[in-house]
Structure 1
Amino acid sequence: MTVTTDRVHVYADEFDEVSRILARTTERVRLELIDGKLRSKAVPDGDHGRIIQWLLRICMQSRPELFLHPDQGLKVQAYRHGRARPDASLASNDAFVGQGEWADPGPVLMAVEVTSYDSDTDARDRVEKPRAYAETGIPVYLLIDRDTCEVTVYSEPDGVRYESARTVPFGKTVVLPGPVDIALETEQLKDWVH
């Protein structure tokens, strides 16, 4: 099988086949399908992983009935049959039990992305992901942006976009709205950017 990225649109069944093949041959590739376009995500660095650990601890302390599931693939965008792999998804502990690599996003209360230092993070994390998660109906999208040293909380999805977006610099407190209802003290994020 030849993998190319020069086609404008990729179908979900083609994407699933390529994803399965690559999963058997390498651990260094993380693929997504957003707006019918094949995307690859950078393998996270240590600071990226530490930010997810920090957020996991806060979520577990604030909402012990929930879990921050790292890297669970989600079926997004019904129209395009997209596949996204958020850095983490906040949902009940058993939300993805019995599901495969690409799970139903219905139980997800919040999708989380931490920017990577790669060339397409702007298009992927700041443009495509907010739209895909809003179209899917995920109530909250949390973007931890290491390039700008800001946290953006998107909420109130209307099926096309998020109607609310609040951005604060690292160091300020930001409240994740319902159904998440968690306050984040973001000062410590300053330690994990370079």
Structure 2
Amino acid sequence: MTPSTADRPQMSIEVFEELACHAPETVRLEFIKGKVQVKAAPDGNHNEIVKWLQKQCIQHRPELWLYAEQGLKVDSYRNGRARPDGTLAPDDHFVGAGEWAAPDGVLLVAEVTSYDADTGSRDRVEKPDGYAAAGIPVYLLVDRDASSVTVHSEPENGVYRAVTTRPFGALVELPDPVGFTLDTEKLKHYAD
């Protein structure tokens, strides 16, 4: 049976990587579920949330770093490429990795929702599937629309088996291999 056009990628991964390589610096491209997607430019509150998360990670796990916008190879079935807002990995983990690194050794990826039309499907559905398929242990979604934090964990067969959502202000457990608790009270200041 021939796959429908909806199931086929728009282009090969090689063509996507060439396109992404030549995109202007202000354009951030991703290749999720076989489709080229433009990631919205972050606003000030978005950047503050990423900075807050970096501080939390360095406080609790100083041997790790939350890398901003590191390109990752995800979604093994579709040969996807994503640029998480944050990627938690050991210090110096990406030395020599290039623009699109393998997800091996990554402990957590984080996304902060943007105010664009496709953030719902991209950050809440497509990226969790891609990150789970890549075997990334924890996916953290800071959802500004819902004023909540969602932790996806226990990836198995391309899906996260455990998903927990808490409102801004709650204590949020990041399971092993991350292994610390976020106090999300400060996120209330960044909700638009």
CA gap of 1:96–1:8, structure 2 versus 1, over 3 A, is closer
Map 1:1-194 onto structure 2 (within 5 A).
9-22=10-23, 26-194=24-192
Kept in 2: contact 1:136–1:159 (CA 8 A): no
Distance 2:191 2:39 in 1: 18
Measured after TM superposition, the shift of residue 10 of structure 1 is 2.1
Which residue does the alignment assign to 2:5? none
Distance 2:140 2:150 in 1: 6
Partner amino acid, structure 1, of 2:30: E
Kept in 1: contact 2:9–2:78 (CA 8 A): no
Unaligned stretches of 5+ in structure 2? 1-7
Distance 1:11 1:86 in 2: 21
Measured after TM superposition, the shift of residue 33 of structure 1 is 0.3
Measured after TM superposition, the shift of residue 77 of structure 1 is 1.4
Distance 1:138 1:101 in 2: 18
Measured after TM superposition, the shift of residue 9 of structure 1 is 2.3
TM-score (norm 2): 0.94
Distance 1:98 1:86 in 2: 19
Distance 2:163 2:87 in 1: 18
Measured after TM superposition, the shift of residue 78 of structure 1 is 1.7
Kept in 2: contact 1:51–1:192 (CA 8 A): yes
- Give a deviation string over 1:13-70, Cα, whole Å, max 9, x none: 0101101111xxx221100001111111001011111101111011001001100001
Query: What's the secondary structure of 2:93's corresponding residue?
Result: coil
Query: What's the secondary structure of 1:68's corresponding residue?
Result: strand
Partner amino acid, structure 2, of 1:134: A
Measured after TM superposition, the shift of residue 8 of structure 1 is 5.3
Query: What's the secondary structure of 1:117's corresponding residue?
Result: coil
Distance 1:27 1:9 in 2: 22
TM-score (norm 1): 0.93
Kept in 1: contact 2:9–2:33 (CA 8 A): no
Structure 1 vs Structure 2 CA RMSD: 1.0
Kept in 1: contact 2:107–2:178 (CA 8 A): yes
